[in-house]
Structure 1
Amino acid sequence: MSTERLSANKRKRKNANMRERMRNRKVVSAFCCFLAIVIAFVLGFVVRSNTAFVQSLGFPTEWGTSQPGTPASEKTTYEAISARVGEVEDILKLYSMDELDLSKATSSMLEDMMRSTNDPYAQYYDPSRYENFVKESAEKSYSGIGVLFGEYDGRAYVTDVFTGSEANARGVEQGDFVVAIDGDSSHKWSMTEVIGSLKRGEGSNVVITWMRPASLDATNGEQFTTTLECRVYEEENISYSIDGDVGYVKVRQMTSDAAALVKNAVNDLSNQQAKAFVIDVRDNPGGYLTQALDMASLFVSGGVLVSIQTNDNESPRNALGETITTAPIVVLMNQYTAASAEVFAAALEDNQRATMVGQTTMGKGSVQVVRELTFGGAVRYTAAYYLTPQGHSIDGTGVTPDIVVANQDGEDGDTQLNVALDAAHSMIEGA
């Protein structure tokens, strides 16, 4: 009986030892699992921070928000259009039964992208359209249909029609917008594109569809089409005369030699005993900023003429200190005075160098840049804004006259010019 009892106790101890060993193994296994998880977490954190290594393993790296300045190729689909488009492109290439038209998709996407900026001057030019865009040269003669073009919100419009020109004979008027050339109305026609398209052989015909709005801001209006013969029109950019002791200088554009021509005109008028000057920049669509500043320097002895605001900074442009007269100045302007012509007017106004007569200018105080693309074509966008010497924005505001006069021709002739001349005569008398 005692032997059986001993055997039972032995079996109990053996079973207890087995259970203890099993418990120890479970504890060790649990600890090893926990340790493995900790090690995996640490390794995962280290590996995640090594983008190149992760990419070499074939894993995506888009598991977080990248920091500002991250290259587009490393941004997530929440931060970059390129990443989003790339994702869709990969899906279509892998799974779609239809083939992607790369050229068509590129044009559609980039056109929409430029429109989404709300920049009225932003445009995408495909390779063929860009080729036409760069046709404009620096010729001083106006080849085409006898029209001087400006640009408003990315659309070309007529700022002046030459007397006796083909366009004048067909009823084209100041303020008419170009809608289509030779039937092409697929996009907004910029000023540069229109001018480039009209540089054709002497005697060539061009069909232009125009839109006559109620105002510059109107997006629609009466449309009409003209067939015009292209010719080379020679038109003086600077003309001048004298009214008593007031010199009058008309500046049609800020061309590459505008400042030199104005200087010659003022000097000639001074020799004719002019004691005050009216500088007429009505209907002037602008042109070279450097020429506008050089013109302003003819009358402003020192100080800031304009500041150019970019994403990075504001850069002032100062007078050259080479004035040619201290006589009173009147600047004559209207709603078609634009761009660098507005810079000229604002420079004289803010420096209290001239009396402004006419109407508030257009308010086109921005600078556009065209940048070629590596795959062909180009994009155009606004890269800077003009600020007056006192820091006011020209864009969307314009330059306000001291003496407001409606733009109208009556029995007494050019009302605005008459008021400007009277103001200049009064300044002489009050001197």
Structure 2
Amino acid sequence: MDLKALLIRIRRMRQTRMTTKRREKVLDSLSAQVASKLFDPEKKGGQWATALGDHRSAILAATSEQEFEREVLMVLLTLGISHVGFYHEDLTRCTAKMALASTYVPQAFRGEQYWTFQDVHAGGPAAKAGIRPGDILLSVDDRSYRPFEHPHFSMGSTVSVEVISRANHQETKHVTIPLVAPKSGQLPYIEPDPLVQTRRLAHDTGYIKICAYPGAIGVDIANDISKSLKTLGDIRRLIIDLRGNTGGGIGILRLMSYLSPVSLPAGIFQHGKLTATSQISDQGFLLDRIPRNTLERYLLTVRYFAMLGARCITRRRLPVTLATESLGPQPFHNRIVLLINQHTASANEILLAFAKENKLAIIVGEASPGRLLAGDKIKLPYGYRLTLPVGELRTAQGNNVEGNPIAPHVPVPFDPELAREGHDNQLKVALDVVSKL
């Protein structure tokens, strides 16, 4: 066993037993953080405080840590906004998205509701075990899960997942979940390998699928996107598959930049909001290029903090203008399709709004979820973490995506029965649409 695995297992063994007094301390700290840091333009924080008071006794009386977390989260969800979460750093209670590199949705089957796998990223634990889109989840380690109870998975384990698969055959898949150490301030997360996949769908049509944008600045993912597009060669049409991509960092700027030959403003972040702008400001920090390597990333950081320090001395805020890189004309411009679904969230919705407002691509698939607040992860006592929205992101034309899903130009719902038989109905429509551009 390597040192990383040993340290993780030691931390698991040292987990603190949560007494009522300790739970009260967690709730008090959580309440103080919500009061001081929540981005709350609609003043919903007061509603949450009332809801917490009404449910406090029940939360403290929870019979397990899982129930305690679930009860706290249910009260937080009364805020009715995205990027709100409450979880423990324990690596034994991870979601399917984190541990299996997959998503699922509720679907009716034989008159009953089941979880049905929708996105199963190639190279992730679920895909390696043979789970496919459309497979119906019956149980995990012999325990049944139905909507809206979610299974949890332990990092560094192997679980038995029973599914109904192709031709409605019942099968058991043994899913091996690697042991990963969470990065500072982040949830443990298994990245699919590779994160970027490409192939040709026709003699002049390229396809690129991007699973996530890891990293705050996104140097590696930006480079991967550029290299992958180059491997497609001379293509006149492009399908960008963002289904199951729940967001990430600023690396998405590289993908946005491939939609336009010139630099276009995406917005300006100031006073906690990304506000409308039709010009690139010279009064603040301009982020219009992803660094190519560690040195460039270091120089970017130095330049930003130098400007920020100067503004702090004069007690002025530093606006940050986000603009696309000027990558020049591409042979597929004006013949691009963005393929999305209900899991295409967060940073992706900046791209979707940008593409729609500037008429740079046709969007095919399902509506996005409308989750675009800027979130932050906050440390609480005894290993708990709170996720809160701390700022608002708006498009260059001033539109607010939060709570307003971005509708596709061509709606195509996910068909689990076709998926279970190996057919991708959404990709088929996307290919038909792009072939006519």
Instruction: Give the 5 Å matches for 1:159-308.
Output: 159-161=118-120, 167=126, 173=133, 197-200=153-156, 204-206=157-159, 228-230=174-176, 234-235=193-194, 237-241=196-200, 243-255=202-214, 256=218, 257-269=220-232, 272-281=233-242, 283-300=243-260, 301-306=262-267
Number of aligned residues: 304
Structure 2 counterpart of 1:421, from 401, 407, 431: 431
Q: In structure 1, how many angstroms separate the alpha carbons of the residues matched to 2:389 and 2:136?
A: 24
Q: CA deviation at 1:174?
A: 5.3
Q: CA RMSD in A?
A: 5.3
Q: CA deviation at 1:231?
A: 5.0
| Amino acid in the other structure paired with 2:339 | M
List per-residue Cα deviations over 1:252-289 (Å, max 9, x = no partner): 333443332222233333xx4322322222x2323323
Q: CA deviation at 1:347?
A: 1.8
What fraction of aligned residue pairs are identical, expressed as a percent? 17
- For structure 2, the 5+ residue unaligned runs are 1-34, 37-45, 107-114, 164-169, 179-191, 276-319
Instruction: Name the CA shift for 1:133/1:159 in 2 (closer, same or farther; >3 Å).
Output: farther
* Partner residue in 2 for 1:399: 406
Preserved contact between residue 207 and residue 225 of structure 1 (Cα < 8 Å): no
- Partner of 1:395, secondary structure, is coil
* Partner residue in 2 for 1:341: 348
Q: CA deviation at 1:372?
A: 0.7
Q: CA deviation at 1:296?
A: 0.5
Q: In structure 2, how many angstroms separate the alpha carbons of the residues matched to 1:176 and 1:368?
A: 32
- Partner of 2:389, secondary structure, is strand
Preserved contact between residue 238 and residue 258 of structure 1 (Cα < 8 Å): no
Instruction: Give the 5 Å matches for 1:29-40.
Output: none
- Partner of 1:417, secondary structure, is helix
Preserved contact between residue 197 and residue 208 of structure 2 (Cα < 8 Å): yes
- Asked which structure has the greater RCO (Cα within 8 Å, sep 6+), the reply is 2
TM (norm. structure 2) is 0.52
List per-residue Cα deviations over 1:196-248 (Å, max 9, x = no partner): x5430xxx4336699xxxxxxxxxxxxx9977331567455322225222222
Q: CA deviation at 1:391?
A: 2.3
* Partner residue in 1 for 2:102: 148
Q: In structure 2, how many angstroms separate the alpha carbons of the residues matched to 1:108 and 1:159?
A: 24
Q: In structure 1, how many angstroms separate the alpha carbons of the residues matched to 2:71 and 2:234?
A: 62
Preserved contact between residue 123 and residue 194 of structure 2 (Cα < 8 Å): no
Q: CA deviation at 1:415?
A: 4.4
Q: Is 1:320 the counterpart of 2:321 in the alignment?
A: no
* Partner residue in 2 for 1:117: 79
Q: CA deviation at 1:377?
A: 2.6
Preserved contact between residue 375 and residue 388 of structure 2 (Cα < 8 Å): yes
- For structure 1, the 5+ residue unaligned runs are 1-68, 71-77, 89-99, 137-141, 211-223
Instruction: Name the CA shift for 1:334/1:319 in 2 (closer, same or farther; >3 Å).
Output: closer
Instruction: Name the CA shift for 1:164/1:330 in 2 (closer, same or farther; >3 Å).
Output: closer
Preserved contact between residue 258 and residue 291 of structure 1 (Cα < 8 Å): yes
Instruction: Name the CA shift for 1:157/1:130 in 2 (closer, same or farther; >3 Å).
Output: farther
TM (norm. structure 1) is 0.52
Instruction: Name the CA shift for 1:237/1:340 in 2 (closer, same or farther; >3 Å).
Output: same
